[in-house]
Structure 1
Amino acid sequence: MKRKSFLRSIGIASGAVVSAPLLAATNSLNPKSYNSLNRARGGCVLIPSESPGPFPLDLSENSFFFRQDIREDRQGTLMFQKIRIVGLENCQPMPDVRVNIWCCDNDGNYSGYGGEEGQTYMRGYQITDDNGEVDFTMIFPGWYPGRVVHMHFQVFVSTSYSAVSQYTWPHAAAVEIANANPTDYTHGPDPMVPESDFAFTDGYENQLATCEWSEEAQAYVSVLEVVVEGAGVSGVGYLENEASKVFSLGQITPNPVSSSSTLSLNLLVPSDVQLSIHSISGAKINKRSLGSLSEGDHLLNLDFDNLNLSSGSYVLQLDITSNGRTHHDLRRFVIS
């Protein structure tokens, strides 16, 4: 397959957080393996574009898929997956971009297709943190005829640009997992190697995630660094340009938050403003109207004490409505 330019399409963003088990698992990784990502798992080399495959489903407008744990009822070997998004132009992390992932289950089936219509397992999306990272809890996928074990993903840099690709894991690890868990992987170990898969025949050095067992987490931990076009910042598309005619949003300060913070908002036209806070699972923790605000600068006081939020990361979203049209922006914050 040609290493062609990435597809350009429409997308939106949502939120993410690192869970305690995943953080512990990642910390238990061999430091040499984790630190080698810049050299062996991207290293500021543009990841090849691949087909989204026959089973992408549209995750863009479905808030149900805003989640970290994508397993649902699927049985298989537990895996914690970390993906880091880096901009090609300056090799810096890209915060606040959305990452969709989807793959088959342990038996090689995709939710939403064939006999699995109406099912939603093994699909989800998150938004990158300040280090450009998202984390997912999943099972190691199975395989199906003609394809090696693999994962699909899509990075929404802005509403005008997204990157679509696939990655795989070391073949020896896939074989080891299947052989060690025959009741979960009833088809046996993957008979293919990446070199024989059409998606990876032109090389897959930058599409090979790590796969290491963590005794502490009692799970496999996988890390992949993905380099996409950009300069380590979110791109600008049509919707961003339209929103900039109505408002601009500052940063939550301070962040991390102990009890309260402020957020600066500049309105170019009078607008109705709503604020909502979301958990990692996509649950809406709080939503309130700030009423109709006048044109000009506003400093929003954010008092989180009354919400009884536990330590961790959250997503704050503002909905700005003016002249019958609603625009959105979000900020990720941490409760210390």
Structure 2
Amino acid sequence: MERKEFLRRTFSALGIAAISPMVNACGTADTVEPETTAGTGTTTGTGSCTETSDETEGPFPTKTPTSLVAKDITSDRQGNKLTIKITVQNKNNSCAGLAGALVDIWHCDAAGNYSEYGGTGMQSTNYQSVHFLRGRQTSDANGLVTFTSIYPGWYGGRAPHIHVHVYSSSGKSLKISQIAFPEDISKVVYAQGVYASHGQADTSNARDNVFSDGVTTNMSIVTGSPSAGYELTWAIVVAA
């Protein structure tokens, strides 16, 4: 079963009432303040911000994230270096940085494959025994975590993305979401190096079955180049 079909069937099985909070989270549920900068430190001059949209965790969530505490999650994966800087902000505290938050991230490799899974119709390559491109960090006094990874690839039916799950210091789940990428940057990356054989992504952010409701709170800022590497910055706003 293709991943796109898996998500479509999952949503269908859940029903509209069950998925509407997830699908509409960054649509009409929250109104973006006039001074808000989407996804990248969504703080206004008045200390208000828009909570990041909830997005699906599956179908390849990290199985035991507490065992994968690491800053460099690259492992043996080849690709353009990507420094990932995520700031956790607390909507209930004037959007101040949330210290001590547990931040898990995971994403696919340049060929579109995930670790910890495989050998099935959803992913033929078997990577069940390895844990590349997955990791956990604890946010500092400013709510910041930094990971070293590679620019993620893509797979059928999905635009490029990174999964993020934020917990409180006590382990309470605060937010599950996904980071979106600027399409012009992805096109440059996928035209060269280890990405070239996989080609360009087959799904835009607008046609993606997760981001199709908008990427206002999901879009990252990405700077850099294939030769120098890239840096991603993004803020995730939670209610803690």
Instruction: Please report the TM-score for the alignment, with normalisation by the length of structure 1.
Output: 0.55
Contact 1:76 1:185 in 2 (8 A): no
Whole-Å Cα distance in 2 between the matches of residues 106 and 136 of structure 1? 17
User: Aligned to 1:198, which of 190, 196, 209?
Assistant: 209
Contact 1:38 1:225 in 2 (8 A): no
Whole-Å Cα distance in 2 between the matches of residues 112 and 200 of structure 1? 24
The residue number in structure 1 matching 2:84 is 81
Contact 2:65 2:135 in 1 (8 A): no
Matches within 5 A, 1:277-292: none
Whole-Å Cα distance in 2 between the matches of residues 71 and 94 of structure 1? 26
Gaps of 5+ in 2: 1-18, 24-34, 44-48, 119-125
1:2 paired with 2:20, answer yes
The residue number in structure 1 matching 2:236 is 226
Contact 1:95 1:132 in 2 (8 A): yes
Contact 1:59 1:124 in 2 (8 A): no
User: Aligned to 2:38, which of 7, 16, 40?
Assistant: 40
Whole-Å Cα distance in 1 between the matches of residues 22 and 112 of structure 2? 28
Identical columns (%): 31
Q: Deviations over 1:180-233 (max 9, x none)?
A: 33x344211212111111111111111011111169x92111100110012xxx
SS at match of 1:172: helix
The residue number in structure 1 matching 2:189 is 177
Whole-Å Cα distance in 1 between the matches of residues 236 and 100 of structure 2? 15
Structure 1 residues 38 and 92, CA, compared in 2 at 3 Å: closer, same or farther?
farther
Contact 1:96 1:128 in 2 (8 A): yes
The residue number in structure 2 matching 1:254 is none
Q: How many residue pairs align between the two structures? A: 195
Whole-Å Cα distance in 2 between the matches of residues 190 and 86 of structure 1? 31
Gaps of 5+ in 1: 6-36, 231-336
Q: Deviations over 1:114-166 (max 9, x none)?
A: 11110110000100001100000010011111111111010002433331111
User: Aligned to 1:143, which of 133, 154, 160?
Assistant: 154
Contact 1:88 1:228 in 2 (8 A): yes
The residue number in structure 2 matching 1:100 is 104
The residue number in structure 1 matching 2:174 is 162
SS at match of 2:185: helix
Contact 2:22 2:56 in 1 (8 A): no
Structure 1 residues 228 and 75, CA, compared in 2 at 3 Å: closer, same or farther?
same
Amino acid across the alignment from 1:79:
L
Q: Deviations over 1:241-289 (max 9, x none)?
A: xxxxxxxxxxxxxxxxxxxxxxxxxxxxxxxxxxxxxxxxxxxxxxxxx
Contact 2:106 2:134 in 1 (8 A): yes
Whole-Å Cα distance in 1 between the matches of residues 183 and 215 of structure 2? 12
Amino acid across the alignment from 1:207:
N
SS at match of 2:189: helix
1:59 paired with 2:64, answer yes
Contact 1:148 1:193 in 2 (8 A): yes
Whole-Å Cα distance in 2 between the matches of residues 4 and 108 of structure 1? 24
The structure carrying a bigger strand percent of its residues is 1
After superposition, the CA RMSD in angstroms is 2.0
CA shift at 1:106, angstroms? 0.4
CA shift at 1:57, angstroms? 2.5
CA shift at 1:38, angstroms? 5.4
